[in-house]
Structure 1
Amino acid sequence: MLKKLQSKWGVSALQLLLIIATFAVGGSLCGYAGRKILALTPLDKGLLWVILYVIIVTILWPVAVILVSIPLGQFKFFKNYLHKMFTKISGSSKKQQPQ
């Protein structure tokens, strides 16, 4: 499985390790920050808390992985990764439609 990712992304074994570490640390940081932000509100851990947590984590995740990618030297990979992800989500494409 790791070889498949390494081949798909065109990275070395060390880069793959750093990319996986970035995903792990960025995701954990984002979850921790989301809980801390919600601790500032008077909400109990109910349905509204969970909905807000998911929204906050969704917003914080790209920021967290970009911040973590800088010291790990993987900024270029994650900048491209997030750009591709946002392009797919938004449905926009750089290709011009024929007229």
Structure 2
Amino acid sequence: MFTRLKNKWKVGWLQFTLIFITFALGGSLCARAGSWLLQLFLDEKNWVYWLLYVPLITILWPLCVLLISIPFGQFRFFVNYLKKMGTKMGMIKDKNTSA
């Protein structure tokens, strides 16, 4: 599984490891930041907390991953990764297709 991802991303093992560390730390930072932000406004973790938590971390995740990617030297990879992801989700218009 890891070899297929490494080949798909066209990276070496060191860069692959740094990418995985960035994913892990970015996701953890996102979860902590989202929880902290919601606790500023909500006293307890009730259904409203969880209703707001999912969209909040969905918005925060790309920002956290980009922030964490800078010290690991993977910023360019994650910018390209997020562009591809945004294109697949229809949030970024694909330059290769005509309107």
TM-score by structure 2 length?
Answer: 0.92
User: 2 CA distance for matches of 1:96 and 1:55?
Assistant: 29
Structure 1 position 55, deviation (Å)? 1.0
Q: Deviations over 1:39-78 (max 9, x none)?
A: 1013431221101111110111000000000100000100
Structure-2 residue corresponding to 1:93: 94
Contact 2:42-2:49 at 8 Å conserved across structures:
no
Gaps of 5+ in 1: none
Identity across matched positions, percent? 49
CA-based RMSD? 1.4
Contact 1:26-1:64 at 8 Å conserved across structures:
yes
2:63 aligned partner, one-letter code: V
1:15 aligned partner, one-letter code: Q
Gaps of 5+ in 2: none
Structure-1 residue corresponding to 2:10: 10
Contact 1:66-1:78 at 8 Å conserved across structures:
yes
Q: Tell me, what secondary structure is at the counterpart of 1:94?
A: coil
Structure-2 residue corresponding to 1:44: 44
> Where do 4+ consecutive residues of structure 1 move more than 6 Å?
none
Contact 1:30-1:64 at 8 Å conserved across structures:
yes
Structure 1 position 5, deviation (Å)? 0.6
User: 1 CA distance for matches of 2:87 and 2:98?
Assistant: 16
Q: Tell me, what secondary structure is at the counterpart of 2:41?
A: coil
TM-score by structure 1 length?
Answer: 0.92
2:49 aligned partner, one-letter code: W
Q: Tell me, what secondary structure is at the counterpart of 2:7?
A: helix
* Equivalent residue pairs, number: 98
